[in-house]
Amino acid sequence: MSSSNEEEDVGPSVDSNDMEERIAARRIRIAKRADAARKALLGEDLNELKEVKEEISKSRKQIEDSRLRLTKLRKDGFELVSNIRVAGDAREAARRTIEEEAKRHRKEKLESEAKSAAERFDEITKKWESALQKEVPQSLHEMLLQQKRSCDSMNDEKNKLITDFQQDLKAKDDLYVKDLKKMAEDIDLMIERMNEQVDNLSKGQREELEEIERAFVAERNELLEVQRKKWEEKMAFRYEKEEENLVSRARRVDDFEQQLQHLRVQDAEEYNMVKIRLETDVQILEQQLQQMRATYQLNQEKLEYNFQVLKKRDDENTITKSQQKRKITRLQDVLNALRQKLAKQEKSYKDENTQLSEDYKRITEQFHDLQRKSKHFLATDAKKFHDIWCMNEEELKGLLKEVLEVDRVIHEQQLGLPPEQPDLSFTENVGPLVNSQKSSGASASQILHEVMSNQTGSEADAGEDAAPATIYSRISAHTIKQILELLCDEAGFLVEQKLNKLLAPLEKDERSLMKLDNIFSALGLETEEDIHKLSTYFMNIRDKKEVDRQKSLESNMELNAEGEPAPEEDEADNEIRMMMDEAEDADELGDIPSDCVDLIHPNEVLKALRAFVEDTRKGAKQGGGKAQFHLSSLEDRDDSLDSEYWNKYATLLNAKKERLWDALIEALEKYNEVLHSRSTLLSETEALRQQNAELRLLLHQYVNSKVNAELEIPPTRVLQLELNPN
Amino acid sequence: MSENQEPPPTVSEGGEEKATTEGDPPAGSKAPSRSVSVTSDKSQISGKRSLEDVVPDEDAQEDRVGDWRNMRRIIAEDPEWSLATVPLLNELVVKHIVTNFENNSEVLKSLLSKHQKAVLEKISVDLPLKVTALLVEDEGFWQRCCKARWEICDVSAYGGSWKRMYMEKNLQQIIELFVPETTKPDQLEETLALSSNFINKLDIRQLLPPVREAPKGPDFDDISDAGSEAGDEPECDHFSFGPVLPKLPFLQELHLTYGVKDCGMNFEWNLFQFTSRDCLQLSQCVAACKTLKVFHLHKSKVDDDKVRVLISHILDHPGLVELDLSHNIISDRGARAVGKFLNNHSQLVRLNLCDNQIRVAGAQAIAHALTKNNLLQFLNLRLNRLGDEGGQAISRALLKNRTLVEVNLGSNDLAEPSAAILSQVVMQNQVLRSIDLSCNRLGPDGGKQLQEGMEDNSTVILMDLRLTECGQESEYCINQILHRNQEADREKRIKDSESVNALYKKSNIEPQAAHRFNLPPTAIIA
C-alpha cells in the first residue's frame, strides 16, 4: 500500500518535474535523430539524390523540416499523454501483484485460522463428548464454562480476524476512494495534457504552416523578383524597340509627307499645264468649230445651189429620158430587123466555114504526105551521102594506110630512119563531118567530173589529157573548183529535196558532184563553154585590162578551136603560148594567188546566177523558134570543113616526101638489079649444095652397107687411117 | 440646392420634403398624407445621409431619380398599406405542406426537387420516425435531427451518413434505456422495423437489469451489498438480443457492455451481472448473425465459463474479424478457449484481451495457437498476468508466426529472458511492426539485448519501452532505430502508393513544386 502510495505520489510529480527536462532532452535527441535520419536518407542514399534534393527549393525543405518537427511533436505529445496511461497500468500491475500477495496472505491466514479453528472445534467437540460423560454437575459446569471459554476465544479469534479483514476492507475502501480520486486526477491531467497537446499541435501546425507559407512566399518572391527582372528587361527591350520603331515611323512619316508634298506640287503643276493646254485646245477647237461652221454655211449654200441645179437637171433628165425612151422603142425595132439579118448571115457563114475546114483538112493531109516524102528523101539522101562519104573515106583511108605503110617501110627498111609519125587523128573520123564545134567541146558534166575528181590529182595528169586541158588553160582548176563549190553551197535551192535526201548518205565530194550535176541541169548548162561563161559571171569584174586580156584569150581560144585541124606544131605552139599567158597572169597578180582573188562574194552568187540565166535565156529564145520544125538536111550541113578534111588526106604526102620517094625509086631500082644478080648467084650455089648433099648421101650408103662388114678391111678404117696417118 | 429650383415641380417637391425631413420629423403640413409611404423613409435615410455628408448633391440626385416612381405612388389613408410582396403561391403551398407534413407526408415525393428541398429544410425535427424514416433521404434533415438531439455529433464515425447516425443512435438509446419486463417492447419493435435497413453498428454502453426489488434502499449496509452480491439469481437477466439481431440485416459491428452507466450512489453488484443465461442468449445471437464482423464485449465480468460458452458458439463464425473481450476477468481456461478459437477456427484478424487475468497457462495456450494461426494481425494482451514464462511463450510463438503485425504485451510482468527472446524475434521476424513492452521489468540487460536485436531490424516502427528500466542509452538507441525505420517505411509507402495514385495524380494537376510532398490519399502517415 505504502509503496503504491509512494508511487502514486511520486509518479506524476516525477512526470511533472521531469517533464520539462525530459521534453528538452527528447527534443535534442529527436533533433539529433532527425538529423541522423536525414543524413541516412540523403547522405547515404546517393550523392546525386542529394544534389537533386539541394536543387529542391527551400520551401520543400521547409516542408520536410516541418513534417519532421510535427511528427516529433505529435509523438512527444502522444507519449506525454500515454505516459499517464502507462503509469496507471504500471500502478495497476503493481497493485495487482501486491493484491495477489495480500490475497495469498489472507488466504493463508484464513486457512491457518480455519485449521486452528477446526482443531479447536474438534477439541471442543471432543470435549463435548467428554463432557457428556461427565455426570458431576460442577465438573460439567466447569467443563461447560471451559467450553464456553474456548468457544469464546475461538469466536474472539474469528472476530479478531473479521475485524482485521474489516479494517482491511476499510483500508481498501479508502484506497479505492483514493484510487478513484487519483484516477480522476489522472483523467483531469490527461485531459489537460490532451488539451495542451491539442493546443501545442495546433500551434505547431500553425507555426509550421506559417513557416511553410513564409518559405513559399519567400520562394515566390524570389521567383517573382527573377521573373519581374526578366519582365523588366523584356519590357525595356520592348520599350527600346518601340522607341526605335516610333522614331523610324516618324522618319517614314516625314518622308512620306515630303513625298506627298512633292507629288502634290508636281500634280498641281501638271494640272495647271494640262489645264492650259486643254484651254488652248478648247480655243483652237472653238476656232475650228467656227471655221467648220463657216464652211458648213458655205457648203450649205453650195449644196443648195447644187440642189437647185440638180433639180433643174433632173427636170431636163426627165425630158431626155422620155426622148430616149422613145428612141429606145425605135431602136428596138431596128435591132429586131438586124437580128434577123444576123441569123441569116450566120447561117451562110457556117456553111462557108464547114467548106473551108474540109479544104483545110485535105490540105494538111497533103502537107503531111509531102513531109513524109521529104523526110524519106532526106533520109535516103543522107544515107546516100553517108555511104558515099564512107566509101570515099574508106578508099582514102586504105590508100592512106598503104601510103603510110609504104612510107614507114621506106623509112624503116630503106632509110633506116625512125618513121616520121604524121598526125593521123583526122583518120579516126568515120562518116561525114558533123558539127565540128560540138565535137571539139567536152560536155559540161564531163568537165565537172574531171574537175571534181582531179582536185587532188596531179596537174601533170591534167596536162596530158586534151579535154580538161582546154578548161584549165583558161581558168585555173582551183578557181573552177572554188566556183563550183560556191555554186554548190549557194544554189542548193536548185536541187530537188528528194535528191538531197538521197544524197545524204553519200560522201561529200560525190554529194557535191551530184548536186552540181543537178544544178547544171536546172540552169541548162551543157557544155564547157557554158561553164566558162558561168565562171565569168562568178569572177569579180577586174580591171579593164584583165578583161581585155581575157577577151584576147578568148579569141585565142577561138583561133585555137578553128585551127584544130592545123598541124601539130601549131597546136603545141598554142599550148606553149597559153602557158605563158597563164604565167603572165600570175605575174600580174603578183603575190596574190590567182585562184582565190577573183571570186565574188557568196551573197552575190544569186545575182550572178540570175544575170547568167537571163543572158543564156535570150540566146535560147533566139534559137528556140527554129528548133520546132528543124529538119537536119544536107543543106544545113556545114561543109566548110569537108574540103579541108579531104585535103588532109592529100597533103599527108607532101612534095618533100615525093622527092624523097623519087630518089628512092631510082636507088631502089639500082639496088633491085644488084639483088637480081645476087639471086642468080644464090640459085647457083643452091644447086651446087644440092649436088654435094647427094654425093654425101651416096657415100654414107656405101659406108654403111653390109658388105663392108664382110670385108677384111672396111673402107672406113681405111679412111680413118688415111685421115690419121700421124 | 440651387438646381432644385430648375427641375419640374415634383422634383422640387421632393427637394422641399427633404428639406423638411432634414430639419424635423414629417409632422409638417404635407407630411401626414405621405407619412405611410416608403418614400418618406427613404428620404429620411437620404436626409440622414445628406446630413452626414457635407456635399450630398450626387447622392440626393441619385435617390431622387431612384425614388421618383415611389414618390409618385402615394396612397393616402391606408394604414394597412405595405409594399412587402405577397408571398408566392409556391411558398404558401410549401408552408402548408410543412405544417401538415405529419398528416400528409406522401406528397413530398410528387414535389419538384427544389420544393422538396424547401420542404425538407423547414419540417420539424420532432416528427415521428415512422413518417420520416422511410420517406426522407435528405442528409440535411437528418443532420438537423441529430444536432437537435445530441450535442456531440461525429458523423465520421458513421460513414458520413447523418441518417445512419440518427438511426443507430436512436436505437442504441432505446436499447440502453430498455428495462426488461417493465418497458414495453412496442417502441423498440416499431423503431426496429423502421430503421433496420440503416443500422450498421450498435454501440451499446449500458444494459439495464430488470427491476425486481423496486425500492432497494441505497443506504443499506455492507450486508445488503453482500446480499446483493450473493443474490446471483438466474432471473436477473438483461435485455435479450434474440429478437433484435435477426431483424438487422446489415449489422456489422456490435459493442456491448453489460453494466450500468452513471449509477452513482445506487451501486449494486447485480447491476453489473452478466448472467450465464445472458451469455447463452448472446452467444446464440452472435453465432446466428452471420453478417457480424466486429464484436466487442467490454467490462462485463465475462469469466472463463462464459468465454467458453461464447467461444463454443462462435467457433467457425464466417465473418467475425475482430473480437474484443477487454476489461473482463478471463483467466487461463478462458484463454485456452480463445486459443482454440484462434487455432484455425476463425477469421479473426484483431484480438483484444486487454485487462484480463490470463496467466502462464493461458499465455502458453495462446502462444500455441499463434504458431498455428496465419490470419491474426493484431494481438493485445495488455495488463494481464502472463509473467515471464508466459511472455517467453508468446515471444517464442512470435519467432514462428509470420502474420502478426502488432503485439501489445504491456504490464505483464515480463523479465529479462523474454527480452532476450524478443531480441531474437526482432532480428528474425520481418512482419512485426509494433511491440508494446511498457511497464515490464526488463532491466538494463534486457534493454541491451533488445537494442542489439533492433540493430539488425528494419521493419519495427514502434517499440514502447516506457517504465521498463532498460537503461536510457539502449532506449535512446532503440528510439533512433525506430525513427530510421519509420522514415524508411514512410518512403516505401510513398513509393508504393505512387503507382496506385498515378491516376489520381494525373487527374489532379498539382501546383508547382509541392507534388513531391503532397501525399496521395493512401499514404497516411502515422
Q: What is the pLDDT of residues A214-261, one digit of tens each?
A: 888 888 888 899 999 999 999 999 999 999 999 999 999 999 999 999
pLDDT at A237: 94
What is the tens place of the pLDDT at every residue in B372-401?
A: 888 899 999 988 888 889 999 999 998 988
Q: Is A89 in Cβ contact with B383 (below 8 Å)?
A: yes
Residues of B in contact with A56 (CB under 8 A): 513, 516
Q: Is the pTM of this model over 0.90?
A: no
Q: Give how far A235 is from chain B: nearest CA, Å.
A: 26
Q: Any CB–CB contact under 8 A between A634 and chain B? A: no
Instruction: Say whether both B132 and B176 belong to one domain.
Output: no
Q: Give how far B485 is from chain A: nearest CA, Å.
A: 9
Instruction: Say whether both A554 and A662 belong to one domain.
Output: no
pLDDT at A240: 94
Residues of B in contact with A92 (CB under 8 A): 383, 411
Q: What single-letter DSSP state applies at residue A443? A: B
- Confidence check: pLDDT of B206 > 90: no
Q: Is B514 in Cβ contact with A60 (below 8 Å)?
A: yes
Q: Any CB–CB contact under 8 A between A87 and chain B? A: yes
The answer as to whether B247 is a domain residue is yes
A-B C-beta contacts closer than 8 Å: 62
Q: Is A60 in Cβ contact with B513 (below 8 Å)?
A: yes
Instruction: Say whether both A578 and A564 belong to one domain.
Output: yes
Distance of alpha carbon B464 from alpha carbon A147, whole angstroms: 63
Instruction: Say whether both B145 and B273 belong to one domain.
Output: no
- CB of B504 within 8 A of CB of B520? yes
Residues of A in contact with B410 (CB under 8 A): 86, 89
pLDDT at A260: 93
Q: Give how far A37 is from chain B: nearest CA, Å.
A: 6
Q: Give how far B480 is from chain A: nearest CA, Å.
A: 6
pLDDT at A116: 86
* Short-list B330, B290, B340, B322, CA closest to B306: B330
Distance of alpha carbon A222 from alpha carbon A234, whole angstroms: 18
Q: Any CB–CB contact under 8 A between A92 and chain B? A: yes
What is the tens place of the pLDDT at every residue in A450-475?
A: 666 554 443 433 334 444 445 455 56
Q: Is A83 in Cβ contact with B464 (below 8 Å)?
A: no
Instruction: Tell me the helices (H) and strands (E) count for chain B, helix number first.
Output: 20, 9
Q: Any CB–CB contact under 8 A between A62 and chain B? A: no
Nearest to A29 among B467, B476, B486 (CB): B476
Q: Is B479 in Cβ contact with A41 (below 8 Å)?
A: no
Instruction: Say whether both B108 and B173 belong to one domain.
Output: no
Distance of alpha carbon B391 from alpha carbon B418, whole angstroms: 6
Alpha-helical runs (H) found in A410-527? 436-440, 444-454, 459-464, 466-474, 477-490, 497-503, 508-523
Closest chain A CA to residue B462 = A75
Residues of A in contact with B517 (CB under 8 A): 60, 63-64, 67
Boundary-marking domain end, from A621, A648, A675 = A648
Could you tell me the strand order of the sheet in which B350-352 lies? B201-203, B253-257, B294-298, B322-324, B350-352, B378-380, B406-408, B434-436, B462-464
Residues of B in contact with A52 (CB under 8 A): none
DSSP code per residue over B370-431: HHH-SS--EEE-TT---HHHHHHHHHHHHHH-SS--EEE-TTS---HHHHHHHHHHHHH-SS
Instruction: Say whether both A567 and A680 belong to one domain.
Output: no
Distance of alpha carbon A215 from alpha carbon B156, whole angstroms: 34
Distance of alpha carbon A157 from alpha carbon A72, whole angstroms: 62
Q: In chain B, what is the straight-line distance between the N-terminal and C-terminal CA atoms, in Å? A: 74
B25-41 average pLDDT score: 40
Q: Any CB–CB contact under 8 A between A718 and chain B? A: no
Nearest to B483 among A37, A59, A100 (CB): A37
Paired sense of beta strands B350-352 and B322-324, if any: parallel
Closest chain B CA to residue A11 = B467
Instruction: Say whether both B259 and B188 belong to one domain.
Output: yes
Instruction: Say whether both B143 and B97 belong to one domain.
Output: yes
Closest chain B CA to residue A55 = B513
Boundary-marking domain end, from A604, A625, A648 = A648
Taking each helix axis from N to C end, the angle separating A137-409 and A2-38, rounded to the nearest 10 degrees, works out to: 10
The answer as to whether B254 is a domain residue is yes
Number of structural domains found in chain A: 2
What is the tens place of the pLDDT at every residue in A315-333?
A: 999 999 999 999 999 999 9
**Enclosing domain of residue B114:** 87-153
In this prediction, the residues of chain A whose per-residue pLDDT falls under 50 are 1-16, 43-53, 436-441, 455-469, 471, 542-545, 547, 558-572, 582-597, 623-632
pLDDT at A629: 47
Q: Is B484 in Cβ contact with A89 (below 8 Å)?
A: no
Distance of alpha carbon A491 from alpha carbon A603, whole angstroms: 11
Q: Is B476 in Cβ contact with A86 (below 8 Å)?
A: no
pLDDT at A478: 74
The answer as to whether A151 is a domain residue is no
**Enclosing domain of residue A533:** 460-648
- CB of B373 within 8 A of CB of B401? yes
The answer as to whether B265 is a domain residue is yes
pLDDT at A217: 87
The answer as to whether A631 is a domain residue is yes
Distance of alpha carbon B137 from alpha carbon B116, whole angstroms: 11
Q: What single-letter DSSP state applies at residue B358? A: -
What is the tens place of the pLDDT at every residue in A575-611?
A: 555 555 544 444 444 444 444 445 677 777 777 778 7
Taking each helix axis from N to C end, the angle separating A508-523 and A605-624, rounded to the nearest 10 degrees, works out to: 40
Burial A218-251 (b: 16+ CB within 10 A, else e): ebeeeeeeeeeeeeeeeeeeeeeeeeeeeeeeee
Chain A interface, mutation test: which of B355, B473, B483, most A Cβ atoms within 10 Å? B483
* Short-list B429, B451, B433, CA closest to B492: B433
Distance of alpha carbon B497 from alpha carbon B472, whole angstroms: 37
What is the tens place of the pLDDT at every residue in B173-184?
A: 888 888 888 888
Instruction: Say whether both A670 and A545 belong to one domain.
Output: no
Q: Which amino acid is at A382?
A: A
Q: Is A89 in Cβ contact with B382 (below 8 Å)?
A: yes
Q: Give how far A187 is from chain B: nearest CA, Å.
A: 17
Q: Is B413 in Cβ contact with A89 (below 8 Å)?
A: no
Number of structural domains found in chain B: 2
The answer as to whether A393 is a domain residue is no
Q: Give how far A9 is from chain B: nearest CA, Å.
A: 16
Closest chain A CA to residue B413 = A93
